[in-house]
A and B are shown apart, each in its own frame.
Chain A
Amino acid sequence: MLQEAQAVASGISGADIALAAKYIAAGLCMGIGAIGPAIGEGMAAAHALDGMARQPEMQGALMRTMVLGQAITESTGIYSLLIAIVLLFVV
């Protein structure tokens, strides 16, 4: 049993471990990094909908402000996406 494990382990090089770490890091980066923007954008949309239900005549202005706020909220998600892309394709 121990010998088999050693035989498998001796076949794994440092490059393999680095490759595995790269993919795991990219997945974690995207998965955890997407939580914040998702919650934030959902909250922005929810409150904008509240406002639209109360004052339908404000729909245009609310929509514009909502999209702007969501675009700014999204930037943290975009940063983690860029890091994931760099990990996958560049490093």
Chain B
Amino acid sequence: MIKGIFEQLSESLLHLGEKQIITFHLGSLQLQFDKVAMIMSWIVMVLLVLLALYLRRALQQGIEDKPNRVQAALDALMDLLQGQLTSNFSSERLAHELFPFISTLFLFVLFSNWLGVIPGLSSPTQNLNVTMGLALMVFVVSQVLAMRAKGMKTYWKGFLEPVPFLLPLNIIGELSRPMSHAFRLFGNVLAGTILTTVVMAKFAPIVIPSILNMVFGLFFGAIQAFVFAILAVAYINVAVES
């Protein structure tokens, strides 16, 4: 029986990294979607919406009432998001404006990473397109906020400093940020998945993969989500200030 499990798992190793692509034709335009990543992203979104609807019940309570469990959970979550993430912004105004964006980013990445722990499901963040989309979102937000904070003229002039000769280097420096931002999350999540799958298929199919899943999925997943959000904060800070 154990041999059968091994064979089945070895079979799954062969399909590692295979993608199921759906193609839509819109006139001459060709749109391609990764089926797994899309379905998993939708699952994460549904989970987040359900969580929000559940936590919303805490808001119906009066301020004078004794806090119940839902309110305590909401308090803890808001405390974490405000105290650890958005308190790093350089100005109060930025922190106030970007709190929804940064917390959504954090919660989405956190739930995506944790989704990979459940057998049969996979993290959407182990697809480079998903992480690159998130990183590009942060990039656009940081550039727009930099334009607003510094004014158009100073913003474009910033690329020519300290000498105009360094223009290509400045542009590459700006563009490398979303790249490394996306690759970091993708690489970490993918490495955890590959390691767990290989150990499961080749060495020990029963006890050890659950420990590995715990370490890579839950612990590193939470740390990587935190790092992703805090790096977004840092990138926006740098873009607005410098």
Contact = CB atoms under 8 A, between A and B. Distances in A.
Interface of A: 64, 67-68, 71-72, 74-75, 78-79, 81-82, 85, 89
Contact of A71 (B84, B186, B191, B231): B231
A89 B198 CA distance: 13
Contacts of A68: 227, 230-231, 234
Given A64-B84, A67-B223, A75 B234 contact: no
A85 B231 contact: no
Given A78-B188, A89-B16, A64 B183 contact: no
Contacts of B183: 75, 78-79, 82
Contacts of A72: 231
B16 A71 contact: no
Given A67-B230, A81-B187, A75 B180 contact: yes
B194 interface: yes
Main secondary structure of the interface of B (DSSP, over half): helix
For chain B, which range describes its interface: under 10, 10 to 19, 20 to 34, or 35 or more residues? 10 to 19
Given A74-B184, A78-B183, A85-B194, A67 B16 contact: no
Interface-centre pick from A74, A78, A82 (highest chain B CB count, 10 A): A78
25 contacts: A64-B84, A64-B88, A64-B230, A67-B223, A67-B226, A67-B227, A68-B227, A68-B230, A68-B231, A68-B234, A71-B227, A71-B231, A74-B184, A75-B180, A75-B183, A75-B184, A78-B183, A78-B188, A79-B183, A79-B187, A81-B191, A82-B187, A85-B190, A85-B191, A89-B17
A38 B183 CA distance: 18
A89 B191 CA distance: 13
Contacts of A78: 183-184, 187-188
B127 to A, nearest CB: 14
Contacts of B184: 71, 74-75, 78
Interface-centre pick from A67, A71, A74 (highest chain B CB count, 10 A): A71
Contacts of B194: 85
A79 B184 CA distance: 8
Interface-centre pick from B88, B186, B187, B223 (highest chain A CB count, 10 A): B187
Contacts of A82: 183, 186-187
A72 B183 CA distance: 11
Contacts of A71: 184, 227, 230-231
Interface in B1-18: 16-17
B153 to A, nearest CB: 31
Nearest to A74: B184
Contacts of A89: 16-17
